Structure 1
């Protein structure tokens, strides 16, 4: 299996994409892909390419694209463009910490990445990956975020990146089971833990985007961080919310209206002085995956 893992890691991204597309059409190819992917589960690996290239990661049973470095290339490119030493980053829906460890390297040991992750198993994996890279600037808060406080039902999936709060209303594909998770408002957590003010927030919460934004309104209005948000059919709602609090909104890698973007497009929000905002806006729209 180790030989399989090493062989897959050396494939060009275009080949990986081609084989993945075949898997959508042909069940036997999909089965082979799943078998090959298991060679990377629960193994310490070196990320093969991309913004996080060279970092150590153990994905547990999560997405093998984290090891290959092929996951969300446009987000990786955006982080590469936006992050600077000394910035504080919030990673909401951090999974096993792929983007968090790449950000931690760029911002440096005196800054901080704060990860918010609903599932304790993923939170532990983030801590493991931070320790593997000797990063002391990653803080993990084990909670789901939303617009209220308490406990919430969370639907897990056999595809670990597809878990979501049950309040979203539709079970994820490959549904596994329902568990209870802690639910907090970002504003409350920031005040309670006295977290440093964020310069950038990355969010991937599988449909709970507006609830998270509602619970983060005070933080957004106070600190005006740049936002990278994966939509899940919530494009228009994200745009309406952010525009109402003074953000300029666009689609990562596309010069198109937010409402016309694909259902799971990455939406960015900018609140900066006009000259700087235009420069960032143009750069994010022109990113090529």
Structure 2
């Protein structure tokens, strides 16, 4: 596993500034003018001297980024942009003051904090992230933004309460972690399965987490858990939990071959219709 950057959750935001050279190199390492293989080689060259962390402000949101470890951080620091812009276009009409948003697989907060800023302090946002190191980064980013409307919980969603093994690819993109070894860093390179690293994490059913956090309803839910979406999400759709069925949800479908249950068919049978889709995610809206 690659040596990790220093995890800094104590220095106030703004204290981790990047040099001009680091900003330029990471811009090149994320820019699509270069071939993917070339960007990868450049990242391997610069990660020793320019691993961060670095503080950036993107779309009005403060982030402490670790570009050697996580794709989202590379986009934030290198490209100066939030990841998944097409998905944000789909979600923007659902963002409003006072809304309730649940982010399952919150990573470092690129969705949760984006919505927290847009929806304002009257919104309630619940961000679930099981990986302990990623969770520490998420919590720092929440505090760096003074986002009192965001609650972060260091749990994964699953069919039962307990502990599970969370797999990730050894550090290059820790955000692409999964409860399934096949899902960890695997969307573009199945060879990463042979070098995955396990981490023991706590999990609980989503309905129990929502009840513990006193979440009365969900206007919008986003789930991105690398092929484990069916086992993390579908137990919520019992009759006992009907009041918590989201009005709209964005579900990652790029690793749907790992599902044991077809989430889209399951949800269609419960009144959800496909409103739109991107290359990796599908937006579903519930017909009331």
CA distance in 2, matches of 1:241, 1:231: 14
Which residue of 122, 140, 143 corresponds with 1:110? Answer: 122
Distance 1:105 1:196, change over 3 A: farther
* 8 Å Cα contact 2:271-2:287 kept in structure 1: no
Instruction: Note if 1:221 corresponds to 2:238.
Output: no
1:71-86 aligned within 5 A? 71-86=83-98
| Aligned-partner Cα distance in 2 for 1:4–1:35 | 13
Q: CA RMSD, aligned part only?
A: 2.7
Secondary structure in 2 matching 1:109: coil
Deviation of residue 41 (structure 1)? 3.3
In 2: Cα distance, 1:79 partner to 1:9 partner = 28
Partner in structure 1 of residue 36 of structure 2: 23
Distance 1:272 1:186 in 2: 22
CA positional deviation for 1:107: 1.3
What corresponds to 1:56 in structure 2? 62
Deviation per CA, 1:87-107: give whole Å up to 9, x if none.
Answer: 111010001111111110011
Partner Cα distance (1:240, 1:96) in 2: 30
Report Cα offsets for 1:35-87 as digits up to 9, x if no partner. 4577463121122xxxxx13210133322113321511112222323201111
Contact 2:183 2:226 in 1 (8 A): no
Q: CA deviation at 1:171?
A: 5.0
Query: Which string of whole-angstrom CA distances, capped at 9 and with x for unpartnered residues, describes residues 209-229 of structure 1?
Result: 111122221487324321001
* Cα distance per residue 1:145-194 (max 9 Å; x no partner): 1112211111122211221103x655544444111111111011112231
1:43 to 14, 35, 54: 54
Helix, strand or coil at the partner of 1:241? helix
Distance of 1:196 and 1:10 partners within structure 2 = 42
Which has more helix, going by share of residues? 1
TM-score w.r.t. length of structure 2: 0.77
225-234 or 34-43, which deviates more: 34-43
Moved over 6 A (4+): 8-11
> Where does the alignment leave 5 or more consecutive residues of structure 1 unmatched?
48-52, 254-261, 274-289
* TM-score under structure 1 length normalisation: 0.77
Local SS of the residue matching 1:57: strand
